[in-house]
């Protein structure tokens, strides 16, 4: 097994289709509509109007993925890829922890 974990609260990880780049564009469109910036109801805005929406988007997707390993390779489906979803407009460097175990 292989676990990938992101050590941040305003970016996330998920697995989805990785063959057509419009899927990633549609992901961003969906999340920007679902969790818009500049909502006056958000109280946490010290780091800008994209900060609280970034935390909410990250909470929706999660901070880790778990992938089986077969024959020394990640056993992702034909069309699958791991997305590192950056939810800040100007996100900085991100740290990942990758842990693998098993035979």
Q: What is the pLDDT of residues 34-48, one digit of tens each?
A: 999 999 999 998 899
CB 15 within 8 A of CB 83: yes
What pLDDT does residue 94 have?
A: 98
CATH of domain 2-100: 2.60.120.460
Domain ranges of the chain: 2-100
Q: What is the pLDDT of residues 87-101, one digit of tens each?
A: 999 999 999 999 999
pTM attached to this predicted model: 0.92
What pLDDT does residue 103 have?
A: 74
Which segments within 1-103 are labelled E, that is strand? 2-6, 11-17, 64-67, 69-70, 73-74, 80-86, 96-100
Give the residues of the chain that fall short of pLDDT 70. Answer: none
CB 71 within 8 A of CB 11: no
């Amino acid at each position: 097994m292989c676990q990938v974990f992101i050590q941040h609260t305003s970016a996330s990880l998920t697995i989805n289709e990785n063959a057509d780049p419009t899927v990633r564009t549609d992901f961003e469109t969906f999340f920007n509509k679902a969790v818009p910036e500049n909502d006056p109801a958000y109280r946490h805005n010290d780091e800008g109007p994209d900060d609280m929406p970034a935390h909410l988007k990250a909470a929706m997707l999660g901070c880790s993925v778990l992938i089986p390993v077969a024959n020394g390779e990640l056993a992702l489906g034909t069309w699958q890829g791991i997305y590192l979803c950056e939810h800040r407009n100007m996100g900085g460097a991100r740290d990942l922890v990758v842990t693998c175990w098993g035979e």
